[in-house]
Structure 1
Amino acid sequence: MAGHWHKTAGLRRLLGALALGTAMATAAVAKAEDTIDIGFNAPLSGPAAGWGLPGLTGINLLVDGINAEGGLDVGGKRYKLVVHQFDNEYVPSKALQGARQLVLEHNVKIILDVGGSTGDAQLPFLTEHKVFYAPEATADINPNRPYIISGADYFPRGEMMRMAYIHQIYPQAKRYAVVSQQDATSLVGQAWEVGAAKAVGLDVVYDEFYAPDTTDFAPVVTAILATKPDIVSLSISWPDFIPLLLEQLYQQGFKGIVAANYIEPEQALQRVPADWLQQVKAIDSYPLFDDPWWGDPSAQHDFTAKWIARYGPGAPEDLKRPMNGIDWLYTPMLQAYLAAVQKAGSVDPDKVLAAFRSLTTISTIQGPTAVTGEEMWGEKNMISPLVPNNEFRADCSCKRVQSLTRFETWFAQHKDAVLAEVRRRNQMWDQRQ
């Protein structure tokens, strides 16, 4: 979940460029008789926009690439892909409004979104209409909501693997504090994260939530540091909040390890110095696709080249910013859905769902991803790529991948302790009905 743009000229410029790109894609295929319509119902403005807005770039690249080749081959018939967007601002009522508009007016077959609170609002409607929903929040998967597919976003596997990584690489760090805003997504994510922290033997000294309308984070950080933690996790804190929390940790003298679901270096460096950010590691779970770790050739390298050619400096749709970890994030789920459509030879939702569950792996820009999910969510509706851990490096003012881990291997060894904590907090899928 993750990089954010304020309601500034930069945001307006980005919105305009992306809207133009989507409109151009739509116009280019408007004459096609057969289309597969795709909905992007996500925060494009507001404090959670960093989890949604940049993702349009990757969607546009994928869709335009497929359309340039004549569309998606489904059972020998070519379908053009059309993207429709709606800004739900991460407000549940607006998410439902967006879902209704996208389904009833545009006949979308799948909606991509952040999920969590906004997912809860629209899923009864989407389930009734058998529309696929692909949220960042994998915890939205539920057997009672069969058309949810998720997993490209590392949440909450990333929350667990950060704890495992810190325990393995920095064994001297024992005292663990965690905080995020109180919302449905954080309640779930923090449950899995604390479960993993306990499973690897960390001492949980602080485990709290702050109000989503918090503007002064000094008291929040003061309370955390009073427990003398070695590790401070900002967990699922919204993208706008991360730089403010980092600023307070820096100003109040913290020198331990900082981790979070997503840390956008460009934003963070507006509040804290690079040498401090490197000192505290700034561990997160969303890699940059231009990281040398991936090598060339790789799917990540190819995506980066296409992104820079379209959205980079001097490009036709120059966004005046570097590529971040959300630009690619929604693309794998759309790839997974389209792979299931092709296997089914149909856009019929029940045939597509059966095809998705019949797959063992799906190739995406994240690499081969397992198809799993039964133990965590009660249903085989999750793709599971290798989970990265990144740290900040001052020499490039960027984050760099430090490890890639097969989550299923780790979870098999620690699941009893993790699941016990999640159930204790009433955050398993069957407790959140």
Structure 2
Amino acid sequence: MIKRIKVTRSATWPTLALAACLCAAAMPAAAEDCEVKIGAVGPMTGGAASWGLSAKAGADFAAALANEGGGLQVGNRKCKVKVYSYDALYTAAGGAAASNYLASENVHATVGPVGSPETTGFRPVAKRNGQINFSSSYMAGVITPEFPLAFHALQAPVTWGPMLIKDSKAQFKFNTVMIVAPNDQGGTDSGKQLVKLYADQGVKATTEYYQRGTTNFAPLAMRIVNAKPDTIETSSVPPGDAAILAKQLLEAGYTGAIGSLGGVGAAPIIQGAGGVDKLKAFYWLETSPVDDPGVVKMKADYTRLMKAPPPENPLFPVYTVAAEQILRAISIAGTDQDPEKIATALRQMTPESRYLGKGGWRGKTNYGINQELAFPVGLGMAVDGKKLPVRRIDIPAE
């Protein structure tokens, strides 16, 4: 026979509560007990959406990798990583709004903004809000001592341009180039750099700027065909625009080479052309060496973990690596809320990726501040309708 024991509330409930508290204190903190916040800023709608969505995918993936391991180590706790994203619309106003949104969520480190207009609007507001940011813009002065929390996620054309243009010129024998770009800061800053880079390799350069938002490039395509450049440089043209431009160039009878030594990559040009077999001479920058075993594994891990194929845009690996550095620095600093500590950790650590190994810092020569990530890039070529393996180009640190 079981004897019932009557429990009195006054004597027992405080004892039980105390015991529960002591047990909880003895248990290690779980990832859900604390949260690390990072941001992702870029155009997530419109013609440049694939760039911004790649930034978000890189941040989401790095967060998922950390969470898969139980969270990010911050001090004596492991914390769940959460990404806060904002569509900055590829405008200066959108960049400023993105910084203020992240501030409202107490986010102090972000991948992006992506383009020059966004970066121009984002940086001064982020300086006031105390936000570390990794831009992929090619704007002049993208990083500068004036904005000590601003970092560069990849190298500018002045770093890799001489190597890639020299090799492309040797392959395709061009002596003139027409640089096509939007007629705002996102196009003109990089356009001016590219004019000099091509000229330095003995290639006569001209420019053709168009209104951002253009959807019919047929008139521009005819002007290009009539000008008869040996090659066309499209590196500052957003992916959606690049696909239309390539299509209408070939329809207009263009038979010269096409270059894409920027963030567009190969996919939009190949898509617009109707297949790589339609391209007799095409060369492009891969902002990461896409055929490298490390990048191949990165994409496989993304598919496994995120249950979806990775973005094809070449900025996806760039932003994955940038997000890795942010999370490493937060772990070293022991906080996601003190941007100065995080920035100090970034400057003092050697950049390293689980997929691309050790990298380095650059920027002192070009910008006066060593806050530009130095990881390998790639040079892709299609010759007579056949796509060659992407060559890995290692970038030295400073």
Residue matched to 2:111: 112
Alignment partners' CA distance in 1, 2:30 and 2:76: 21
- The answer to whether the 8 Å contact 1:133/1:148 transfers is yes
Q: TM-score, normalized by length of structure 2? A: 0.81
Alignment partners' CA distance in 1, 2:109 and 2:356: 20
**In the alignment, residue 330 of structure 1 is paired with which amino acid?**
Y
Alignment partners' CA distance in 1, 2:226 and 2:296: 44
Q: Where do residues 46-195 of structure 1 align in structure 2 (5 Å cutoff)?
A: 46-104=46-104, 106-113=105-112, 114-137=114-137, 139=139, 140-152=142-154, 157=159, 159-170=161-172, 172-195=173-196
Alignment partners' CA distance in 2, 1:71 and 1:408: 32
Q: Is 1:406 matched up with 2:394?
A: yes
Alignment partners' CA distance in 1, 2:111 and 2:339: 16
Alignment partners' CA distance in 2, 1:181 and 1:160: 23
Q: Any gaps of 5 or more consecutive residues in structure 2?
A: 1-28
- The answer to whether the 8 Å contact 2:289/2:392 transfers is no
Residue matched to 1:22: none
Residue matched to 1:339: 328
Q: Is 1:350 matched up with 2:349?
A: no
Alignment partners' CA distance in 2, 1:223 and 1:186: 19
Q: TM-score, normalized by length of structure 1? A: 0.75
TM-superposed CA distance for 1:58, in Å, is 3.0
Alignment partners' CA distance in 1, 2:393 and 2:163: 8
Secondary structure, aligned partner of 1:240: helix
Secondary structure, aligned partner of 1:78: strand
Q: Any gaps of 5 or more consecutive residues in structure 1?
A: 1-28, 413-433
Alignment equivalent of 1:380, drawn from 355, 367, 370:
370
% same residue = 21
Larger Rg: 2
- 1:360-407 CA-partner distances (Å, limit 9, x unpaired): 4433534422211011112111111122111247988xx654322234
Secondary structure, aligned partner of 2:352: strand
- The answer to whether the 8 Å contact 1:67/1:81 transfers is yes
Q: Where do residues 280-319 of structure 1 align in structure 2 (5 Å cutoff)?
A: 280-286=281-287, 289=290, 291=291, 294-295=292-293, 299-310=294-305, 316=307, 318=308
**In the alignment, residue 315 of structure 2 is paired with which amino acid?**
I
Residue matched to 1:256: 256
- The answer to whether the 8 Å contact 2:377/2:393 transfers is yes
Worse-superposed segment, 366-375 or 142-151:
366-375
Secondary structure, aligned partner of 2:272: coil
Cα gap change, 1:152 to 1:196, in 2 (>3 Å): same
TM-superposed CA distance for 1:263, in Å, is 4.5
Worse-superposed segment, 236-245 or 48-57:
48-57
Alignment partners' CA distance in 2, 1:393 and 1:304: 26
Over the aligned positions, Cα root-mean-square deviation in angstroms equals 3.0
Cα gap change, 1:367 to 1:227, in 2 (>3 Å): farther
Alignment partners' CA distance in 2, 1:155 and 1:79: 38
TM-superposed CA distance for 1:127, in Å, is 0.5
**In the alignment, residue 133 of structure 2 is paired with which amino acid?**
Y
- 1:274-298 CA-partner distances (Å, limit 9, x unpaired): 3554412242324574x3xx23xxx
Residue matched to 2:5: none
Secondary structure, aligned partner of 1:283: strand
Alignment partners' CA distance in 1, 2:69 and 2:48: 34
Cα gap change, 1:192 to 1:161, in 2 (>3 Å): farther
TM-superposed CA distance for 1:162, in Å, is 3.3
- The answer to whether the 8 Å contact 1:158/1:285 transfers is no
